[in-house]
Structure 1
Amino acid sequence: MSGERAPLTDDGHHVVIDGRRWRATDPMVPEERRAELQRVLMAWRRDVRRTRGTAEEKRSRAGVQAAKVALGERGEPWWEQSDAERRARWETDVPMPD
């Protein structure tokens, strides 16, 4: 899907990929921050593959979770949060893997 966004459900809360619904990224996340969080997410996903089956895998998966929560793709649904809660969520520091 290089550069192309997946189609959204009518309510805008989910994307549909291969017939499966996934929670959409919070549309209020500023584009620069969204790009940064997506880079962090991809780095953590690579780290999960690198650490699979080791004691470090749990930390790598926690990094994926933190990035997905910051993007609004996991955790409390972004459409149920106040604007201040949403901003605090995406502004949370999500470090890159070592």
Structure 2
Amino acid sequence: MTEDTGPDDERWLVVNGRRWRRTDPSLPADLVSALTSHLGRGRSGVRRAQGDPDATSAARRRVDLAKHGLGERGPYWWDEPEGDRLRRAKEALAELEDLED
């Protein structure tokens, strides 16, 4: 069940009592879409990699990079200037695109 978190609704999403950081709303839609695609591929990779430590590590790296790029991990996006947030997202995407599948 999704709940409102009050004045911090733009920052947090609560699902079944657990609070998750939302994606940085200042990021352009095309950048969010590309990062979200990598996030999905990383999550699928984690599921497929069961029992293979190297594949699991690589897939988790993809998830972590995507979530950092989206602002869902790392420094709180609302505490940083927009330019820094955009730069972090673009750098994460560039690194993700350089990864081998």
If the length of structure 1 is used for normalisation, what is the TM-score? 0.85
5+ residue gaps in structure 1? 1-5
Matches within 5 A, 1:10-21: 10-11=7-8, 12-21=10-19
- Cα distance in 2 for partners of 1:82, 1:8 equals 26
2:49 maps to which residue? 51
Change (3 A) 1:45 1:97: farther
Match of 1:3 in 2: none
State the Cα distance separating 1:8 from its structure 2 match: 5.3
Identity %: 35
RMSD: 1.7
Segments of 4+ moved more than 6 angstroms = none
Q: TM-score, length-normalised on structure 2? A: 0.82
Paired AA for residue 16 in structure 1 = V
Cα distance in 2 between the residues matched to 1:77 and 1:8: 19
> Which residue does 1:25 correspond to in 2?
23
What stretches of structure 2 of length at least 5 have no aligned partner? Answer: none
Higher share of residues assigned helix: 2
Aligned residues: 93
Rounded to whole Å, the distance in 2 between the matches of 1:90 and 1:33 is: 8
Partner amino acid, structure 2, of 1:27 = P
